[in-house]
Amino acid sequence: MTPPLVFIVEDEPKLARVLEEYLQRDGFRTHQIERGDQVMAQAKELGPDLILLDLMLPGLDGMEVCRELRRFSEVPIIMTTARVDEIDRLLGLEIGADDYVCKPYSPREVVARARAVLRRWGPKAEAEDTRLAVAVDMDRFEARLGERVLDLTPVELRLLHCLSERPGRVLSRDQLMNRLYPDGRVVTDRTIDSHVKNLRRKLADYLPEQDLIRSVYGVGYKLEA
């Protein structure tokens, strides 16, 4: 198996070199990029398995890079920033990064996070069992599990759509609420829970031995990757 390729997008050469050294020692392949505006083309060309993305970059800042990448790629992204308060802001913006690390960090910690993110994403590539593939087509307003069209209510369909966008990623009840009821209607956590319960029951009709939707205690729900 080819070792995972990690993009190190970092404009401080010293820092980039240290990361490179640690990642390579841990068995990763690495590729360094110093400018934000060079990431897209190289991501398309080389298809990285993970991107370590600095926030402050020449050319295009990390936040924009992240947004652009998400238009065509689900590659795991770990953002790095020198400011703790930036992390809160970034989390609020939901720009699609998978993890955040604050500088100064220990390279060892970054390697550990990289491993963790890849582990979370790892099973995705293997899960080519088409029986388990959830596909939601919002244009046709239709969801499929493998070949079978699911009989869902509009709310259940939207719910499955949200969860299926990023399998493995936990969505909080608040996040789901905002997505399911964009009109700002006030619903309780229990409403979300009961929609999830119904959706689970329907999925179980087709796939009784699998629990595709996992609840994460105190956080929310996720679709198994």
List interacting residues with Ca ion (CB under 5 A). Answer: 11, 54, 56
Q: Which is nearer to Ca ion, 58 or 146 (CB)?
A: 58
CB of 8 to Ca ion, least distance (A): 12
Nearer to Ca ion, 107 or 122 (CB): 107
The distance of closest approach from Cβ of residue 15 to Ca ion in the complex, given in angstroms and rounded to an integer, is: 8
Please identify, using beta-carbon distances, which residue of 32 and 191 lies nearer to Ca ion: 32
Give me the DSSP letters along the chain.
Answer: -PPPEEEEE-S-HHHHHHHHHHHHHTT-EEEEE--GGGHHHHHHHH--SEEEEESS-SSS-HHHHHHHHHHH----EEEEES-HHHHHHHHHHT---SEEEESS--HHHHHHHHHHHHHHHHHHHH---GGG-EEEETTTTEEEETTEEP---HHHHHHHHHHHHSTT--EEHHHHHHHH-TT-----HHHHHHHHHHHHHHHHHH-TT---EEEETTTEEEE--
Smallest separation, CB 18 to Ca ion (Å): 14
Q: Which is nearer to Ca ion, 55 or 162 (CB)?
A: 55
**Least distance in angstroms from the C-beta of 95 to Ca ion:** 17
Select 30 or 80, whichever has its Cβ closest to Ca ion: 80
Min CB(19)–Ca ion separation in Å: 12
- Closest residue to Ca ion in the complex (CB): 56
